[in-house]
């Protein structure tokens, strides 16, 4: 039987044995999701995510918040991995799916839809029918941080999850990094995977860098701070995912 990288068998009907395509490591992705959701490594983040859930704003009264670390989401065969900063307190921390239920997510999934990576332009909750094809979305930090600012120790505590995710997503070699924090996290993950990152490439919108077999592509984060001020526009964001498709050969 054909084996996955990491030792798991190729599922029946998988094309890896006939087309040469590398099979996704579904077992390791499932184990990683379980590990992320159960994580309590960072006391400050645990306290914050749970406090937010206990005291939601009026517009989310009645919601049962997820209030746990948020795992990645998307196509296990993705060739493009989108890396964000962290879940929003009333977005992913509420819905349990990364970039779901907040305005940054509205921008991201609309852009992914326009680029052909998503079957619909909006993401409201985990059961809304959203599917990604060719893309997987993750974050540098998996818990909502106060003021959207993780501490260096929290970043480092979460880094192994991104490393494991990149290793399990065996087809993903194009990394779209939303913001400088995600760019830095991706470089740290690549170094942990044994790839040389010296000299260290600098972040910029539409910056590109080749690191081992990976291509990094920078984008301003679709935060309200950037979208409301015009620092990031829809055409600018669309250009990122057009280029991501080119780099991934999709």
Give the 3-state secondary structure of the chain: CCECCCCCECCCCCCHHHHCCCCCCHHHHHHHHHHHHCCCCCHHHHHHHHHHHHCCCHHHCCCCCCCCCCCCEECCCCCEEEEECCCCCCCHHHHCCCCCCCHHHHHHHHHHHHCCCECCCCCCCCCCCCCECCEEEEECCCCCCHHHCCCHHHHHHHHHHHHHHHHHCCCCCEEEEECHHHHHHHHHHHHHCCCCCCCCCCCCCCCEEEECCEEEEEECCCCHHHHCCCCCCHHHHHHHHHHHHHHHCC
In degrees and rounded to multiples of 5, residue 130 shows phi and psi of -65, 135
Q: Give the per-residue SS3 of 181-228.
A: HHHHHHHHHHHHCCCCCCCCCCCCCCCEEEECCEEEEEECCCCHHHHC
Tens-binned pLDDT, residue by residue, of the chain (250 aa) = 223 333 333 333 333 333 456 677 899 999 999 999 999 999 999 999 999 999 999 999 999 999 999 999 999 999 999 999 999 999 999 999 999 999 999 999 999 999 999 999 999 999 999 999 999 999 999 999 999 999 999 999 999 999 999 999 999 999 999 999 999 999 999 999 999 999 999 999 999 999 999 999 999 999 999 999 999 999 999 999 999 999 999 9
Do 184 and 203 touch, CB atoms closer than 8 A? yes
pLDDT for position 1: 27
Do 94 and 63 touch, CB atoms closer than 8 A? yes
pLDDT for position 25: 80
pLDDT for position 243: 98
Quickly name the fold that domain 24-248 has.
Uracil-DNA Glycosylase, subunit E (3.40.470)
Q: What residues does each domain of the chain span? A: 24-248
Do 217 and 153 touch, CB atoms closer than 8 A? no
Q: How many CB atoms lie within 10 A of CB 19?
A: 7
pLDDT for position 21: 61
Output the pTM of the full model.
0.90
Do 87 and 142 touch, CB atoms closer than 8 A? yes
Do 158 and 141 touch, CB atoms closer than 8 A? yes
């Amino acid at each position: 039987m054909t084996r996955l990288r990491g030792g798991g068998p190729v599922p029946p009907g998988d094309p890896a044995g006939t087309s040469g395509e590398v099979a996704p490591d579904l077992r390791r992705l499932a184990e990683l999701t379980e590990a992320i959701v159960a994580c309590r490594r960072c006391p400050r983040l645990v306290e914050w995510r749970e406090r937010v859930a206990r005291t939601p704003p009026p517009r989310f009264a009645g919601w049962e918040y997820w209030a746990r670390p948020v795992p990645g989401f998307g196509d296990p065969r993705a060739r493009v991995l989108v890396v964000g900063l962290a879940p929003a307190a009333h977005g992913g921390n509420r819905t349990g799916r990364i970039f779901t239920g907040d305005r940054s997510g509205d921008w991201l999934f609309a852009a992914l839809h326009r680029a052909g990576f998503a079957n619909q332009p909006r993401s409201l909750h985990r059961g809304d029918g959203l599917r990604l094809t060719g893309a997987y979305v993750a974050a540098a930090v998996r818990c909502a941080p106060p003021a959207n600012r993780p501490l260096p120790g929290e970043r480092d505590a979460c880094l192994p999850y991104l490393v494991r995710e990149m290793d399990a997503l065996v087809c993903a070699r194009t990394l779209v990094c939303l913001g400088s924090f995600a760019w830095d996290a991706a470089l740290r993950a690549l170094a942990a995977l044994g790839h040389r990152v010296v000299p260290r490439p600098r972040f910029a919108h539409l910056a590109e860098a080749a690191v081992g077999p990976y291509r990094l592509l920078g984008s301003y984060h679709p935060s309200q701070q950037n979208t409301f001020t015009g620092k990031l526009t829809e055409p600018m964001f669309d250009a990122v995912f057009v280029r991501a498709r080119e780099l991934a050969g999709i």
